[in-house]
A = this chain, B = another copy of it.
Amino acid sequence: MVTDSRTRLVEAAQQLFAQQGVSATSPRDVLAASGVGQGSLYHHFPTKHDLALAAVAATAAETLEAARGRLQGDAAPLDRVVAYLERPRDALGGCRVGRLTADQAVVDDDGLRAEVAGYFTGLIDEVAAVLRETGLDADAALDRARACVAIIQGGYVLARATQDPELLRSAVRGFVALLTGPATA
């Protein structure tokens, strides 16, 4: 089935990118991991770039959707931000989108970088909108939203560097204590 082989190729690429990065992943690796035929690969994705773009876009969309699930709802706005910050994460695996920014080939490719940038600006906008509900003005909400997203990305870096997931949790705990302190609630 045509649709199915395309999905399998994209999913295999997403997984390999998360494990070893875009640069180190060849179309041949994706082909082997997906189990689809070579003709199907070139039918759906004539170039490695087409495949990379589809896989990075899919990862960005899935990750943004998961964040939206925490940020929307009926709970108090600050509670939703805290729920987003504190959700369980694969600390040692790292952020599937954030890690791509360390790959110079991704940063140098306008199409791939646009997907990664779109994920982060979309996420920051969502968090900023929730923070404005707490009464913050637009500029302060934007700075604080960027801090929220940065603390997660930085926590992943610390956890991976030390191979200790506690460092992500601890950084988030330190940040949430500031965020929910009496003066800022």
A20 surroundings in chain B (CB, below 8 A): 104
- Asked if A75 is at the interface of the complex by the 8 Å CB criterion, the answer is no
Q: In the docked arrangement, what's the CA distance between A23 and B162, Å?
A: 19
Residues of chain A touching chain B, judged by Cβ–Cβ distance below 8 Å, are 19-21, 23-24, 94, 97-104, 107, 113, 116-117, 119-121, 124, 140, 142-155, 157-158, 160-163, 167-168, 170-175, 177-179, 181-184
CB distance from A158 to the nearest CB of B (A): 6
Interface of A is mostly: helix
A167 surroundings in chain B (CB, below 8 A): 120, 146, 150
A151 surroundings in chain B (CB, below 8 A): 147, 150-151, 154, 175
A182 surroundings in chain B (CB, below 8 A): 183
A143 surroundings in chain B (CB, below 8 A): 170-171, 173-174, 177
Q: In the docked arrangement, what's the CA distance between A6 and B184, Å?
A: 52
Contact A117 B161 (CB under 8 A): yes
CB distance from A89 to the nearest CB of B (A): 13
Q: In the docked arrangement, what's the CA distance between A79 and B145, Å?
A: 23
Q: Which residue of chain B is the closest to A167 with respect to CB atoms? A: B146
Could you pull out 22 A-B pairs where Cβ atoms are within 8 angstroms? A20-B104, A98-B157, A101-B102, A101-B161, A113-B163, A116-B161, A117-B163, A120-B161, A120-B162, A120-B167, A143-B174, A144-B177, A146-B158, A146-B167, A146-B174, A150-B155, A152-B154, A153-B154, A154-B157, A181-B181, A181-B184, A182-B183
